[in-house]
Amino acid sequence: MEKILSADQKVLFGIDGTRGIVAAELAGRFIRLFMRDDRGVFFHDDPFHPFILVQHPSLMVDCPHVISLKPLTGEAGYRFMASFANWHECANARDFLAKKSGKTPSSPEAPYLFISDPVHQHLLLTGKTLFKGFDFKGLHRLALDIETYCREGYEFSNPEREEDRIISIAVMDEQGYEEVLFGREMSEPAMLERLGEIIRERDPDVIEGHNIFRFDLEYIRARAARHGIRLRWGRDGSDPRVRSSRFSIAERMIDYPRWDIYGRHVVDTYFLVQMYDISTRELENYGLKTAAVHFGLASRDRTYLDRQNIGMVYLQDAESLKRYNLDDVRETLALSRLLSYPYFLQTRIFPYSYQNCIIRGNATKINSLFLREYLRSAIAIPKAGGKAENFEGGYADVFEEGVVGPIVHCDVASLYPSLLLAHEMRPEKDSLDLFLPLLRDLRKFRLSAKKIARETGDAGQRDYYNALQQTFKILINSFYGYLGTTVHNFSDPSLAAEVTRLGRHTIKTMLEWLRKNGARPVEIDTDGIYFIPPPAIHEAGEEEKLIRELSATLPEGIDVEMDGRYKAMFSYKMKNYALLGYDGKITIKGSGLKSRGMEKYLREFLKEMIRLLLQDTPERIDTLYSEYLQKLRGHGFDIAWLAKTETLGESPEVYRQKVRQGKRNPSAAFEIALRSSFTYRAGDQISYYVSGSGKGVTAYENCRPVSAYDPSHPDENAEFYIDKLKQLKKKFDSFLHVEKMLF
């Protein structure tokens, strides 16, 4: 990172350049900084004076334990900083202010601002961040994975049942260490004690796992409690602190038991995979094996076992189970190496722990940059809130439907950030004028990182700077989203509305120019246009020249780039289309064409039908349709192709109450969860199929878990699944018998 940063970028990276911090924790009147160098890990204690910001000094009258009340420059918002000797006294003051004002700390009307994380407070005050001067490869990461026994007659292993237990624990780190603790060689208490020894001996900065919060760690905790074993995993010998937490990923909300291990971080690759999939929507599910195959991380000799047969394999083929367990941790490390790297880089920038940097939203992280610099400059912090704007979004439209081509896609590089910079638009409450310089620096750094990644011959350097430029890209694009919120201190919804207005104007200007120059626009999506180029331009291969000419007509700083050329496009409806590349690769976009909620047999049929349309062979679709009908009637599909996988958006108990109160309709996935012996939480996924007879059956009354399916006595409802296939094909009938639209 140092290659592209100048020494004066203190606003972005914090004023304190202390290197090698791998963790920070509250330690009485201090914040303990864990530092790593060539000799290992040592710690240093920083004095810590926690604070609360208040609007008026009268609020602090009779408040105990205040050691200072410092005025901040400015006439609005939180104009005074109250400091305290330790965190306990700060928390007491918080309670005092809540009682005195009648407003909880989370209330937008509260006349005080309390930041509930002491480490975040300290990093805000000092300008320190973790991982400065530290390479990702130097971070000590240890992955763990457990395998468990399930008593016969039950579908899932339950740590509260005496007969169920941990039968294998695999651990592996980046330094080449690996070990399997096996239940036929050690008692369960001995396995748990040895796991604690390994963590203390290997001293990892990060403990990683796939779905580690909601399964592995919780199972370990329950079994350790049963045996009276303390999990002294902290760097101070303390037990982990566990509390209920919630994590939002786009429209999904995930409940999970959060673990805080003193001096270490916990990273769940299950979360990382879901965050990756927000934009790509490529994964069928978020399981470790699926992700490893998707990213090309699964080795050829990877051991696969049926989850239902783990107990039998444990008894009959111990070596296979050990290999399987080790392959899980090996893939976890590889997956984290790929997906956690951008968050490692972000932790150098933002005043959060590594574990928190992963789960905090981008707008929240951007807000922390403002808070840090305003506090350093002793300037009052404006209150969050303000009037929400019901403004029109980006411009999206479809002009042609069906199969068309050839296609060129052009877009404005970072449209909204570019408009903010080009028109020098800044949020009204930013009196220090940080917004535009931060945005400008991030864009400059991203371009520098892209240039180095493109020019370097070193593969490691290329990966590093590609990850860095991607990190900056995400942050750059988040600046606009930050403006539109009402929960952050420096947001400005009115400015966000003006930016979207300028964005629509820019796209419409581009659209008009393309039409005047003989192009046929097909679809617009916020910052880009898919269009059919003029025949002469296409035949001469001068599409890039056309786009350069288009870019030259726009204001300085608004750059249009060619994002791709395609042989054909299937334009279905707005934001739903498929592209056929000149290399034969097909890219499908939009939930109407690749919904994860659709059963696999429907997804595969739709994918193949789109391929035949794009390849100009629609006459073969009827044959494909007949083949699928025949397989459905003859029970020829593996049940996984017919199963539907759904994510529980709330707890089963909340669901049950809502159904009873008539506040929601019954759901197949929730009904299975309620019948199960396994304790399901919001965010869990359930796969089920529909049984019974007749196409009109109600799914929630005829649903069965996939694990209960017996292929020797198939009971899937063929009529139900045939009807769904017919309904899907019917949606596309109008596209199957049309004249060719290709040039």
- 8 pLDDT exceeds 90? no
Least confident among 188-202, 227-241, 280-294: 280-294
Q: Which amino acid is at 650?
A: E
- 2 pLDDT exceeds 70? no
The long-range contacts involving 482-488, CB below 8 angstroms and separated by at least 24 positions, are 482/362, 482/363, 482/366, 482/367, 483/427, 484/389, 485/363, 486/384, 486/385, 486/386, 486/387, 486/388, 487/108, 487/384, 487/385, 488/363, 488/364, 488/366, 488/367, 488/384
Instruction: Read off the pLDDT of each residue in 314-322 and give the average, rounded to a whole number.
Output: 95
pLDDT of residue 454: 83
pLDDT tens column, 460-517: 778 778 777 877 888 898 999 999 988 999 999 999 999 999 999 999 999 999 999 9
Instruction: Read off the pLDDT of each residue in 372-378 and give the average, rounded to a whole number.
Output: 96
Residue partners of 119: CB distance under 8 A and separation at least 6: 24, 25, 26, 31, 352, 353
pLDDT of residue 291: 92
Domain with CATH 1.10.132.60 in the chain: 597-735
pLDDT tens column, 592-647: 888 777 899 999 999 999 999 999 888 899 999 999 999 999 999 999 999 998 88
Task: Give residue 272's Cα distance to chain centre.
Answer: 5
Please choose, from the candidates 157, 144, 171, 147, the residue with its C-alpha nearest in 3D space to the C-alpha of residue 314. 147
Please choose, from the candidates 354, 355, 387, 381, the residue with its C-alpha nearest in 3D space to the C-alpha of residue 368. 381
Percent of the chain with pLDDT over 90: 73
pLDDT tens column, 648-691: 888 899 999 999 999 999 999 999 999 987 778 787 778 899 99
pLDDT tens column, 85-139: 999 999 999 999 999 999 999 998 999 999 999 999 999 999 999 999 888 999 9
pLDDT of residue 735: 86
pLDDT tens column, 141-181: 999 999 999 887 666 788 888 889 999 999 999 999 999 99
pTM above 0.95, yes or no: no
pLDDT of residue 464: 73
Give the homologous superfamily in CATH for domain 136-344: Ribonuclease H-like superfamily/Ribonuclease H (3.30.420.10)
247's tokens: 């994590």
- 307 pLDDT exceeds 90? no
pLDDT of residue 293: 93
Instruction: Read off the pLDDT of each residue in 421-434 and give the average, rounded to a whole number.
Output: 94
- 7 pLDDT exceeds 70? no
Q: What are phi and psi of 25, to 5 degrees?
A: -145, 155
pLDDT of residue 741: 41
Measuring CA to CA, how many Å separate 303 from each of 157, 319, 327, 617?
21, 10, 7, 40
pLDDT of residue 388: 61
Q: Which amino acid is at 453?
A: A
Percent of the chain with pLDDT over 70: 96
pLDDT of residue 395: 86
The topology (CATH level 3) of 597-735 is Topoisomerase I; Chain A, domain 4 (1.10.132)
Please choose, from the candidates 378, 579, 538, 700, the residue with its C-alpha nearest in 3D space to the C-alpha of residue 686. 700
Instruction: Read off the pLDDT of each residue in 529-551 and give the average, rounded to a whole number.
Output: 94
- 1 pLDDT exceeds 60? no
Least confident among 107-116, 185-194, 391-400: 391-400
3-state SS, 413-467, equals CCHHHHHHHHCCCCCCCCCCCCHHHHHHHHHHHHHHHHHHHHHCCCHHHHHHHHH
- 16 pLDDT exceeds 50? yes
- 389 pLDDT exceeds 70? no
The answer to whether 492 and 428 are in contact (CB under 8 A) is: yes
Domain with CATH 3.30.420.10 in the chain: 136-344
